[in-house]
Chains A and B, each alone.
Chain A
Amino acid sequence: MTATTVDGATAPQAAAPSRAVSTVTPKAAIALGVVLALYALLLLLAPHEGDARFRLSTERDLFVLPTLEVPALATAWVCAAIGLAVVALAVVRNLGGRRVPLWGTVLYAAALLVGFLAWAAAGSPRDLSVVGLLSGAVVLCVPIVYGALGGVIGERAGVVNIAIEGQLLAGAFTAAIVGSLTNSPWAGLLAAMVASVLVALVLGLFAITYKVNQIIVGVVLNVLVIGLTSFLYSQVLVPSAEVLNTTTRFARIPIPFLERIPLLGPVLFNQTIVVYLMFVMVFAVWFALYRTRWGLRVRAVGEHPKAADTVGIDVVRTRYRAVVTAGAVAGIGGAFYTVVSINQFNREMTAGAGFIALAAVIFGKWNPVRAALAGLLFGFATNLQNVLSVVGSPVPSQFMLMLPYVVTLLAVAGLVGRSRPPAADGVPYTKE
């Protein structure tokens, strides 16, 4: 090496002030239009006569909302008209070089959803329970939201975590064993967090200390955890399922009075402690990242680790702490499977939720609140499929099973808009 390159080596690229300039493309209008066309096609090709009944209340409510009974086809077409109005608005806006307002997108989505539900539930002997649809969505989004929160923390510190799936699975597995042995869901929850932190430590060791490609480490960790838990499940859990794989679950804790508010009460205020904790956690992570010293430093090492280093922040230690914290959070999501949802562990029971959580991180633009909302959306999509199969939807269930993944794909590919990840996301820090 020559003397010239030594000076050069002390001055790596400063974070270039590359900014995501918002430019409006007609992508939004086109996407909305195409989906609307598909929806209209569905109504035309498979008209579904009869009435649809939406049940809004449960027996325990303070007062009972009447069951909505609407003519299905007419409702569906009215909704289509509303959707068309939004598409028209989108076209006008985009042509004028402006974005589609958020309320427009929300209205569009709501209209199409209601229309679709009316069409699907038409003539069904059962009522479609809106409460069931929503409360199920809240429950199903739990592991995704915890996983996404873990992902957000890790990536904000500059460590990409593909291993969320592995963390969830390891958490679920450990919670099942410890929860069964101790008969305490709390012990299971704690064990899940420990197991997930262990996975996080392995990730940290390779990604931060040994600077291995983070995508590869994450993928390998997932495969490792899947293999390990599957093996132990068949060799250890199955033979002694009574002792090792039968947990006590967290009970629902209805919050007095609040739980009797129609519609909202059963959805939000009659859940397990893990769900309540989730609401708290979303806010807590947001607050910690944006309002505390810890968060400022985490974001600094994720954006410009060298700058953090030059003001005396230990980049490696900060990243380790963030990854471990993220692991603990994701672990709670793992515990959900075996001490909240059902009372035993099954092979690969997380079924890709960790990857959907990863999508929620991106969809949520690395913001904990947005990521949680994205997780809720994916939970809703999953539950929609469950509910529709109950009311006897005309769509084959195999197609409905695809729904959460299709929503994930659409959300990440098209609707997320331009988002900027932390500048040093996935880049190991090399001290000179």
Chain B
Amino acid sequence: MRLELRGITKRFGALVANDHIDLVVEPGEIHSLLGENGAGKSTLMNVLYGLYTADEGQILLDDEVQRFDGPGDAMAAGIGMVHQHFMLVPVFTVAENVMLGHESTRAGGVLDLDSAREVVREISARFGFHVDPDALVEDLPVGVQQRVEIIKALSRNADVLVLDEPTAVLTPQETDELMGIMRQLRDEGVAIVFITHKLREVRAVADRITVIRHGRVVGEASPTATDAELASLMVGRAVELTVHKETPRLGDNALEVRDLVVTSPDGQPLVDGVSFTVRGGEVLVVAGVQGNGQTELTEALLGLHESARGSIRLDGHEIVGRSVRRILDAGVGFVPEDRTEDGLVAEFTIAENLILNRTDGPPFVRGGSLQLDARDDFAREKVAEFDVRTQGIDVPVGRLSGGNQQKVVLARELSRDLRLLVAAQPTRGVDVGSIEFIHKRIVATRDAGIPVVVVSTELDEAVALADRIMVMYRGKVVGIVPSTTPRDVLGLMMAGIAPETEGEAA
């Protein structure tokens, strides 16, 4: 089926999320929608799927104008969607999830589970999915859950399949498998819309590429375009994709972690006997698919986990068991994974957020009262130094874009006298322009002789930033390898398979 979007416009108050977007997707084509976070890709797809109603414009399927009042209408018309956050009920079986919404029933509304199982088996045999229809979804790995989503769409005879950032939760191997599935579907005549911001994937799989920036279509590109060309189209100016850094000059100071264990409240190990050392002047990137203990590891480094056992020594001093305040005072800078949740108070101004962890005494607090002049001078200086794009230092942080919010966090942490920098997902949800800047500052911190621990789930970033890469899987360290390690080896490590020749010892 041929999908055409004509002049789709969607506004949220004053913000125009989609501005007269035109898009044509032919059957048997993988059409990639490329754009930064916040460019308006997901909004557009939610319009297509009937979750939003467009303010202007038309959706056409095989040249017929459609009107979708809800996802049900879109599905009935033959549009299937694999959402970025899976739309599966965790406590239901695969068959139940697949049948939900278009259940086949026997007399009296009694569910016909057998036919649902049959549908799952049939589709999963056709594509070699190996999905058990009676497995509970919550017991399945994310890669398999994604296949369940695809089965769900196909079971409704979708002719247009939208995949919204499908690779965000996958290991590189799973990503390759997904691309294989996409090609297979394309060859069967399905029109595929592939939404992503990862250039590598676009070039690998797309037949056509449409680039979106600030809610507008800014151009089409062919899959033969280089990364640099695509990136500059996406960002609107030439961008530096590689991180320039000198060979590390290692210092004597170090962060030494030995046998660190963090357990969940119900006794499950989240970080399971992790040991590593980061010397002053080097960057250790903790890589791995999200949810393999990286979050808990960084939180333990800051003393946020009471259950942490083992040893963390910074410059020879033990910090396990110390309060967060004392660890901060020992010179640990922390960029949390979720800046809106843990890094910033959205309603506070930039100036207030910049001194959030420095309110114990001078220069910002004297005799229990805030020193507003000192605070504002400091804030103005940091806003300039870190290139925070804002109308003023008294703007609530919540109003800034993701990249600028992250710069505020970074400015606060880096302006203290650091002995260690821990940055978790420092560039997630950040525009490419800011990514460049943040990477530069992280490298500068390293060059100042400070040990740096960065957590990243993006392999590109890991390889670009790291002096060494530590891969975690299910709370354990799979291996610590040099950043020159081939990507396929890293990919296997992210799936828990240790490299044959062990990298340098921790």
25 contacts across the A-B interface (CB closer than 8 A): A1-B12, A2-B38, A2-B400, A2-B401, A3-B38, A3-B39, A4-B403, A6-B17, A13-B85, A20-B266, A21-B266, A292-B105, A293-B105, A293-B109, A296-B96, A300-B92, A303-B90, A304-B87, A307-B88, A308-B101, A309-B71, A310-B49, A311-B101, A312-B73, A314-B70
Cβ-based interface call for A12 (8 A): yes
Kindly identify which residue among A293, A296, A312 contacts B71, using a CB–CB cutoff of 8 Å: A312
Interface size on A, residues (CB 8 A): 40
Chain B interface residues (CB < 8 Å from chain A)? 12-13, 15, 17, 37-43, 46, 49, 51-52, 70-73, 75-76, 81, 83-92, 96-97, 99-103, 105, 108-111, 138, 152, 214-215, 264, 266-268, 399-403, 429, 431
Q: How far, in Å, is B129 (CB) from chain A's closest CB?
A: 19
Contact A23 B87 (CB under 8 A): no
Cα(A117)–Cα(B248), bound, Å: 81
Q: How far, in Å, is B39 (CB) from chain A's closest CB?
A: 7
Contact B266 A304 (CB under 8 A): no
Cβ-based interface call for A297 (8 A): yes
Contacts of B39 in A (CB 8 A): 3, 7
Contact A291 B89 (CB under 8 A): no
Contact B401 A310 (CB under 8 A): no
Contact A291 B110 (CB under 8 A): yes
Contact A6 B85 (CB under 8 A): no
Contacts of B83 in A (CB 8 A): 11, 310
Contact B101 A303 (CB under 8 A): no
Q: How far, in Å, is A295 (CB) from chain B's closest CB?
A: 8
Cα(A175)–Cα(B399), bound, Å: 57
Q: How far, in Å, is B400 (CB) from chain A's closest CB?
A: 7
Contact A312 B72 (CB under 8 A): yes
Q: Which single residue of chain B is at the shortest CB-CB distance from A21? A: B266
Contact A7 B40 (CB under 8 A): yes
> If the complex has contacts A304-B87, A308-B100, A310-B49, are A7 and B109 also in contact, measured as CB distance less than 8 A?
no
Cα(A310)–Cα(B71), bound, Å: 5
Contacts of B52 in A (CB 8 A): 432
Contact B429 A6 (CB under 8 A): no
Contact A7 B90 (CB under 8 A): no
Kindly identify which residue among B15, B70, B97, B109 contacts A3, using a CB–CB cutoff of 8 Å: B15
Cα(A13)–Cα(B90), bound, Å: 13
Cα(A294)–Cα(B403), bound, Å: 46
User: Would you give the 0/1 interface string for A277-304, flagging 1 where the beta carbon is closer than 8 Å to chain B?
Assistant: 0000000000000011110110110011
Give the secondary structure class of B's interface. Answer: loop
Kindly identify which residue among B37, B73, B87, B214 contacts A307, using a CB–CB cutoff of 8 Å: B87
Kindly identify which residue among B91, B152, B429 contacts A303, using a CB–CB cutoff of 8 Å: B91
Contact A23 B266 (CB under 8 A): yes
Cβ-based interface call for A15 (8 A): yes
Chain A interface residues (CB < 8 Å from chain B)? 1-8, 10-15, 17, 19-21, 23, 291-294, 296-297, 299-300, 303-304, 306-314, 423, 432
Cα(A6)–Cα(B39), bound, Å: 9
Contact B100 A15 (CB under 8 A): no
Contact B429 A8 (CB under 8 A): yes
Cα(A11)–Cα(B264), bound, Å: 26
Contact B401 A4 (CB under 8 A): yes
> If the complex has contacts A3-B401, A432-B51, are A15 and B101 also in contact, measured as CB distance less than 8 A?
no
Cα(A211)–Cα(B36), bound, Å: 34
Q: Which single residue of chain B is at the shortest CB-CB distance from A432? A: B51
Shortest beta-carbon contacts, A-B, top 4: A312-B72, A311-B101, A14-B85, A4-B38
Cα(A6)–Cα(B37), bound, Å: 9
> If the complex has contacts A21-B268, A432-B52, are A6 and B43 also in contact, measured as CB distance less than 8 A?
yes
Q: How far, in Å, is B492 (CB) from chain A's closest CB?
A: 24
Contact B12 A6 (CB under 8 A): yes
Kindly identify which residue among B41, B71, B86 contacts A14, using a CB–CB cutoff of 8 Å: B86
Cα(A3)–Cα(B10), bound, Å: 12
Cα(A397)–Cα(B72), bound, Å: 60
Q: How far, in Å, is A247 (CB) from chain B's closest CB?
A: 34
Cα(A1)–Cα(B16), bound, Å: 11
Contacts of B13 in A (CB 8 A): 1
What 6 additional pairs, Cβ within 8 angstroms, besides A21-B266, A307-B100? A1-B15, A5-B402, A294-B109, A296-B111, A299-B92, A309-B51
Contacts of A311 in B (CB 8 A): 71-72, 75, 87, 100-102, 152
Q: Which single residue of chain A is at the shortest CB-CB distance from B98? A: A311
Contact B85 A313 (CB under 8 A): no
> If the complex has contacts A1-B13, A10-B42, A423-B90, are A310 and B37 also in contact, measured as CB distance less than 8 A?
no
Kindly identify which residue among A2, A10, A294 contacts B46, using a CB–CB cutoff of 8 Å: A10
Q: Which single residue of chain A is at the shortest CB-CB distance from B346? A: A5
> If the complex has contacts A2-B399, A293-B105, A313-B100, are A7 and B214 also in contact, measured as CB distance less than 8 A?
no
Q: How far, in Å, is B158 (CB) from chain A's closest CB?
A: 12
Contact A296 B46 (CB under 8 A): no
Q: Which single residue of chain A is at the shortest CB-CB distance from B140? A: A17
Q: How far, in Å, is A424 (CB) from chain B's closest CB?
A: 10
Contact B85 A11 (CB under 8 A): yes
Q: How far, in Å, is A51 (CB) from chain B's closest CB?
A: 50
Kindly identify which residue among A10, A20, A23, A300 contacts B100, using a CB–CB cutoff of 8 Å: A300
Contacts of A8 in B (CB 8 A): 38, 429
Q: How far, in Å, is B316 (CB) from chain A's closest CB?
A: 37
Contact A17 B43 (CB under 8 A): no
Cα(A310)–Cα(B76), bound, Å: 12
Contacts of A6 in B (CB 8 A): 12, 15, 17, 38, 40, 43
Q: Which single residue of chain B is at the shortest CB-CB distance from A14? A: B85
Kindly identify which residue among A14, A19, A292, A313 contacts B109, using a CB–CB cutoff of 8 Å: A292
Cα(A10)–Cα(B88), bound, Å: 16
Kindly identify which residue among A17, A293, A312, A432 contacts B111, using a CB–CB cutoff of 8 Å: A293
Cα(A14)–Cα(B75), bound, Å: 21
Contacts of A14 in B (CB 8 A): 85-87
Q: Which single residue of chain A is at the shortest CB-CB distance from B404? A: A2
Q: Which single residue of chain A is at the shortest CB-CB distance from B429? A: A4
> If the complex has contacts A293-B109, A306-B87, A310-B81, are A3 and B267 also in contact, measured as CB distance less than 8 A?
no
Cα(A309)–Cα(B49), bound, Å: 11
Contacts of A12 in B (CB 8 A): 85
Contact A11 B42 (CB under 8 A): yes
Contact A7 B43 (CB under 8 A): yes
Q: How far, in Å, is B125 (CB) from chain A's closest CB?
A: 23
Contact A15 B90 (CB under 8 A): yes
Contacts of B109 in A (CB 8 A): 292-294
Contacts of B399 in A (CB 8 A): 1-2
Contacts of A292 in B (CB 8 A): 105, 108-111
Q: How far, in Å, is B266 (CB) from chain A's closest CB?
A: 5
Contacts of A307 in B (CB 8 A): 86-89, 97, 100
Contact B90 A17 (CB under 8 A): yes
Kindly identify which residue among A291, A299, A303, A312 contacts B70, using a CB–CB cutoff of 8 Å: A312
Q: Which single residue of chain B is at the shortest CB-CB distance from A8? A: B429
> If the complex has contacts A292-B109, A297-B100, are A3 and B40 also in contact, measured as CB distance less than 8 A?
yes
